[in-house]
Each structure stands twice: as structure tokens, then as C-alpha cells.
Amino acid sequence: MSNPFNMLKVALIGSTGAVGQEFVVALDKHPWFNLTHIVSSERSAGKKYIDAIRDPQSGILKWHNREQVPEYVRDKIVSKIDDINPKEFDLIFTALESDDAQIIEPKLAAHVPVISTAAAFRYENDVPILIPGINDEHTDLLKKQQEERQWNGFIAPLPNCTTTGLAITLKPLIESFGVKSVFMTSMQALSGAGRSPGVIALDILDNVIPYIPKEEEKVQIETKKILGRYDRESKEISVNDVKVSCTCTRVPVSDGHTEVVFVETIENADPSSVKKKMMEFSDNVSIKNLPTAPRDYIVVNDDPTRPQPRVDREINDGMTTVVGRLRKDSVFDNGIKYVLLTHNEKMGSAKGAVLLAELFKTKKII
């Protein structure tokens, strides 16, 4: 464990993909974390990072969000996974496909804490799915994971990026009004599919794809686990009994997941009360003073044309969940409905992972 005033030495596995590139941006000039090693596939190993993210045929940079590649990482040499010693790091971030994560992450976690964007271990009983500010108490489960698996480190996965905004907006409703059931339809950005396999341009152009494999099941399971109660005696998470049903679709938007949410509450919840509770939750969120935390955890917009991905996804550098069209539902006796927007590759992925690392540091978990 490191002194809280010392820089932590970190590595990034999967550094050249779309999410890996977002990690590189998020860690640029970070006050607490020093990214010393970037790791990728055999194809990229040995190259300078600037060359590893360049298309070998066209020479065009594959920097998916067109941001300038940070200076600190341009000339770093990309390593292979076998070339690094996990014991040399305080923390490792991984941006891997689930099949690769299943093999690689336990080998790392035997020695060092791992924060993962993959789904590989999300559904294990001794693995919490963490959103900083929402279920911080679930971090205690990491101790059980270390003990049972006899690891010096642990695996802490983020949720599916579609789950993130939904869980964030439901938390203040559960605390203030209680929630019985949730119906959600997502309109998810192309970047959420990654580059490989990604989405074929001819499939998405002038189109909406009404099915994303395994996505709905992930959101339904993860939301209940994240919003569940952690029992310190049994060292287990009791999943929330809220009923969650969703339909996940892919739309021709570059970044930012939009979700239409219908909530049946236990107690009566009018729009003004819901807005008030969301804003109070945002103002008092536990992670408010961390370096990557947004100034506004939740923003509730009264403009009926908001949120919109192109307009709102970069609010507070993509770390704010934006809520709009908050209104009474006409089907449920006690019901509310709204539209939310969250940045799938920032709060929902890389920057959210960095924020989680900051939470771990303040709680002296790393």
C-alpha cells in the first residue's frame, strides 16, 4: 500500500484500443497516478505508442475521438503482457475483451489490484460491480475476494456502460421513494461496440439496430447487484428486488448512450420532488472532491429537447449523467419517466475506472 501523497505506479493493458486510448487521455497529468507502462498485443509490441495506433496501410491515426495524442505517451514503447512484472505496480487498469480478461486478469490480480472494463468477472459472488458514489460500501467485498482466492490484489470491474447511467439515476429514487419496477429502452452509441467486431457502416447508416447481443441481460442483472445491500456480517451482496426490463438498441451516434426510463415507485413521486432528490444526491455525492469527479454528478435539464448526445455528452468532460424530460407517468399509479444521457467511454468506461481508482486510494484500498 502506498503513502496517499505518493504517486502510484500504474500499467495499462489493452492500451491501443478505443477504451485504452480514453485511459491514456484520462491519466494525462493525473496528480495521483503515473502511467509507466502501456501494454498491447504482439502486433503493437515494440512500437512507439504513436505508431501503434496508426493504421499500417493508410498511416492515418486511429485516435477515435480525434483528440491530440497526449505528449507524455507518444514515444512510450508498447510492451507485451509477458514483458511486465505485475509486482512492480501499485495498480493495473485493463481494457480487454472478456475472453482475454478471463485468462489475463487473475494472473495479474494474484499480485496487484486490477480495475477492469470487461464483463468477465462481474457476476462472481465475491466480485462487486462498482460505480463510485453509488455503492461505495460494496468495496468491502474485495477483502473477501482476496481471502478466498488467496490473492494479494483483486479484480474490480466496472459495469456495462449502459448500466452506469441507469444505476446512477435510480439510486436517489430508491433512497427517497422506493422503486418496484423499471422499464428502459436504450439508444446506444457506435463506440460502445468497439472497433472489433464493431458495427458495419452499411448496417447502421440510416438505420437503428434493435438488438445488441447479451446487453439487456447484463443491464438487468448488473443494476440489481449495484443497487443491492452489502451485509457486513455475511460479506455478501443482497441484490435489490427491483424488477428491471430493458430493450437495448444501437443508433448512428458516435458517443453517448441515451436511455428512456419508466420507473414505478413505491411512494408517490412527482417530477419536482424527483428533481429535488436527484440534485440533492448530486450535491452530496461521496466522491465529489476527487480529481476526476465532475462538478455535477447529475444534471436535470428543464429544456424538453434535452439531453442530446451531440450537445450534452461532454458536460464536465463526459463525467456527468444528464437527465431531461422528467415527467409523471400515466400508466403506473406511482410512476415517473425521464430520458438520461451518459458518456459511454468516459463515465461509463475509462474515466469512470480512473475515478474508481481515486476512490480506492482515498479508502486506502490501494
What is the rounded average pLDDT of the residues 202-220? 95
Say if residue 255's pLDDT is above 80.
yes
Say if residue 92's pLDDT is above 90.
yes
What is the rounded average pLDDT of the residues 78-96? 96
Look-up: residue for cell 475506472?
A: 353
Does residue 338 contact residue 325 with C-beta atoms inside 8 Å?
A: yes
- Across all residues in the chain, what is the average pLDDT? 94
Instruction: Count the neighbouring beta carbons within 10 Å of the beta carbon of residue 293.
Output: 20
**pLDDT band, residue 1 (cuts 50/70/90):** very low
Does residue 201 contact residue 252 with C-beta atoms inside 8 Å?
A: no
What is the rounded average pLDDT of the residues 69-90? 95
Does residue 19 contact residue 117 with C-beta atoms inside 8 Å?
A: yes
Concatenated DSSP letters of 225-258 = HHTSEEETTTTEEE----EEEEEEEE-S-SS-EE
Nearest 5°: CA angle at 353, between 351 and 355? 70
48: DSSP letter: B
Q: Mention every residue, 6+ apart, whose C-beta is less than 8 A from residue 2.
A: 8, 90, 366
Q: Mention every residue, 6+ apart, whose C-beta is less than 8 A from residue 272.
A: none
**pLDDT band, residue 67 (cuts 50/70/90):** low
Per-residue pLDDT at 58: 52
Say if residue 123's pLDDT is above 80.
yes
More confident residue, 258 or 18: 258
pTM of the predicted model, to two decimals?
0.95
Say if residue 303's pLDDT is above 80.
yes
Per-residue pLDDT at 5: 54
Q: What is the dihedral of CA 182, 187, 193, 195, to 10 degrees?
A: -160
Write the pLDDT tens digit of every residue in 6-41.
899 999 999 998 899 999 999 999 999 999 999 998
More confident residue, 200 or 13: 13
Tell me which residues are annotated as active site: 161, 257
**pLDDT band, residue 199 (cuts 50/70/90):** confident
Q: Which residues does residue 158 pair with via DSSP β-bridges, in sequence order?
A: none
Does residue 182 contact residue 261 with C-beta atoms inside 8 Å?
A: yes
Domains along the sequence of the chain with CATH = 8-158+350-362 (3.40.50.720), 161-342 (3.30.360.10)
- The Cα–Cα gap between 260 and 247 comes to 10
Per-residue pLDDT at 54: 75
Q: Mention every residue, 6+ apart, whose C-beta is less than 8 A from residue 223.
A: 163, 166, 167, 170, 182, 240, 242, 244
82-90: long-range contacts, CB 8 A cutoff, minimum separation 24: 83/39, 83/45, 84/11, 84/37, 84/39, 86/11, 86/110, 86/111, 86/112, 86/153, 87/111, 87/112, 88/9, 89/9, 89/10, 89/11, 89/36, 89/37, 90/2, 90/8, 90/9, 90/10, 90/366
Per-residue pLDDT at 223: 98
Say if residue 262's pLDDT is above 90.
yes
